[in-house]
Structure 1
């Protein structure tokens, strides 16, 4: 098979990671893999793993992107993929128009993946207009069936995102060297019960809830420390200042540490005693929660979106009714008083995700 995946850019994020993972699996299975994007820092890795990258500026939500319809059509005609897989709205629209200019018998099969709970409008509806629509969780299946009635339910295929259990092995411990560096940089973290909130510094991730929680915990549990793992975009600097001021005003400066953007997220998840998932909006999947559970760290999170699905399957005692701060506090206290065990995770594997996606490609081709 020859499969062409389209996405805006290849810098970082879940869509990008999923594209690389499927590209790698296609090449490993002896298929031909093409990716069209505006480029980015993941291109060398993609190409080193055997995929052909075709650079086209299909990343801008602007009328000027319509100029890319003809060049995209030329690429499709030149490379003649069996399947075109769109993973984002601008590339999906451009592909929609590009395919219209190709005769039906020469047209590739079209598959889309709905990675997000997009705003509900005509612009987003394009993601549900393909032969098969991949939804990354049951929550996304529900989002599509609730809001896009034109998409036949039998065309929606749920394929959970997956992680590589070898990259997040159960019981993983960071190296002695890692601990040494970390305690050099953050001596306040040594010999503490660590509560970790991973994720970028944005209003969506529930930092205010974490601060409230620490305010309630710190007198009874002076040994508890919160660590926020995630950077702040320059545009979010004012929000970060706001959080810092709140922490200062509540005298929690010695109880909460921001460690910024990290590439060693596995180490931080394994180092932590509890990981929290407190987003104000449902997440479509919740990869970080799964990574934490995979290394054996308990996760406590709101009962919504993909995170709730992961918790229901892997660690149901970590699922808390949305915004129920009393139950959240009690759940965290229970974990401090009595350390909890997480069983090895046997679901949501990267291999399952890749196998199911490639099977879907083959199914569409054989129809």
Structure 2
């Protein structure tokens, strides 16, 4: 049975990391051997529970010497573990994978997860490693178009495989009432508060500033903006956001709650969910999680969100960075009849179940592995 090695910088949090764990589960279910190499992190136990084995390597390094050293270590590991296929999920480790696979003759595939900046020839060369595998998996149509245009990836190599959710986990009809109440209490939300939730790591391009400004325009004292996601050490930016809220008179109405381990309950607590990214999301798993929970989602109309949301049917799109449009749309959702919000939420969940499930992502990725393994033999 094949041994599949997934390689990424670390296993802390995020869509790349969760996708890795989900594929460990699928590989193990096939009766194959799943291995993961990374620098480690809080999701290592999840890899092990899913049936995989984690190998700790300093794969976060981006120095040429570190990449070369990791290539030598990976080549030795691949020989010792009789690896049949490598799946590279990030650029710096992918350069090590490329060198190791050239040394061993073992094929590799990549997942092009992000819209990496390409402001110089050297940056484009650095990014190009994510297109050098036997197959290139794009996380969305937006990313597929990008790699065709910027790197000339052919249809023969390219595979579009969106991320997905577990419908049993993100189920608005599960018994979540107690969990929702506990979160509201933990976050200090007053009884009867209306909640606009922005689920994303705290980063400048994720649009927290846009939502704070929109909140200040709405003049609704009972409306609270809850920012769910780690700041990943960006304490200076958090202070800027708090200063902005103070200057705009909405300090009492914003909550930075950090990482949340119970996202289904967090989403069910929301009256409306916002994705205000000022740069295009490669996919945007938070959007489909909210849709699966039958929440009305307002998203910036670019990148992956423009694919996962059918405007006015399964969610609402606004121009990126347009504070007035976002404020107006939030007001419209909050003032809409409950029946209209429920209908849009139900349509959103139906769309996610039809197109964006973990099971579909796993099956499509296993099919890519089988395709490459078959061509090798």
TM norm. shorter chain > 0.5: yes
Q: CA separation of 1:250/1:39 partners in 2, compared to 1, >3 Å: closer, same or farther?
A: closer
Q: CA separation of 1:39/1:242 partners in 2, compared to 1, >3 Å: closer, same or farther?
A: closer
Deviation at 1:285, TM superposition (A): 0.9
Q: CA separation of 1:357/1:184 partners in 2, compared to 1, >3 Å: closer, same or farther?
A: closer
Secondary structure of the structure 2 residue equivalent to 1:72 = helix
1:321 and 2:311 matched: no
1:159 and 2:154 matched: no
Q: What stretches of structure 1 of length at least 5 have no aligned partner?
A: none
Deviation at 1:67, TM superposition (A): 1.7
Aligned residue for 2:106? 108
Within a 5 Å distance, the mapping from 1:113-128 to structure 2 comes to 113-120=111-118, 121-128=124-131
Give the counterpart of 1:80 among 79, 82, 86: 82
Q: CA separation of 1:313/1:37 partners in 2, compared to 1, >3 Å: closer, same or farther?
A: farther
Aligned residues: 358
Deviation at 1:48, TM superposition (A): 3.1
Distance in 2 (CA, whole Å) between partners of 1:273 and 1:253 is: 20
Deviation at 1:172, TM superposition (A): 4.7
Deviation at 1:168, TM superposition (A): 0.4
Within a 5 Å distance, the mapping from 1:17-36 to structure 2 comes to 17-36=18-37
Give CA deviations for 1:55-99 in whole Å, capped at 9, x if unaligned. Answer: 322220012311222221111122222211111112211121122
Aligned residue for 1:139? 142
Aligned residue for 1:175? 177
Deviation at 1:217, TM superposition (A): 1.1
Aligned residue for 1:67? 69
Give CA deviations for 1:205-261 in whole Å, capped at 9, x if unaligned. Answer: 21221122112212xx44322222223333x22222222222222222233232233
Between 1:173-182 and 1:6-15, the stretch displaced more is 173-182
Any conservation in 2 of the 1:80–1:108 contact (CA below 8 Å)? no
Aligned residue for 2:308? 310
Aligned residue for 1:227? 226
Give the counterpart of 1:258 among 241, 250, 256: 256
Distance in 2 (CA, whole Å) between partners of 1:355 and 1:146 is: 27
Aligned residue for 1:271? 269
Give the counterpart of 1:97 among 88, 96, 99: 99
Secondary structure of the structure 1 residue equivalent to 2:251 = coil
Deviation at 1:352, TM superposition (A): 0.1
Any conservation in 1 of the 2:101–2:107 contact (CA below 8 Å)? no
Distance in 2 (CA, whole Å) between partners of 1:24 and 1:315 is: 33
Distance in 1 (CA, whole Å) between partners of 2:312 and 2:56 is: 40
Deviation at 1:180, TM superposition (A): 4.6
Aligned residue for 1:148? 151
Secondary structure of the structure 1 residue equivalent to 2:136 = strand
Q: What stretches of structure 2 of length at least 5 have no aligned partner?
A: 119-123
- CA RMSD, Structure 1 to Structure 2 (Å): 2.0
Give CA deviations for 1:74-132 in whole Å, capped at 9, x if unaligned. Answer: 11122222211111112211121122223xxxx22221111111232111101001111
Distance in 2 (CA, whole Å) between partners of 1:79 and 1:18 is: 22
Deviation at 1:317, TM superposition (A): 4.3
Distance in 2 (CA, whole Å) between partners of 1:72 and 1:163 is: 31
Aligned residue for 2:17? 16
Distance in 2 (CA, whole Å) between partners of 1:68 and 1:296 is: 44
TM-score normalized with structure 1 length: 0.91
Any conservation in 1 of the 2:163–2:361 contact (CA below 8 Å)? yes
Secondary structure of the structure 1 residue equivalent to 2:226 = strand
Any conservation in 2 of the 1:173–1:270 contact (CA below 8 Å)? no
Any conservation in 2 of the 1:89–1:123 contact (CA below 8 Å)? yes
Q: CA separation of 1:128/1:313 partners in 2, compared to 1, >3 Å: closer, same or farther?
A: farther
Give the counterpart of 2:133 among 130, 140, 149: 130
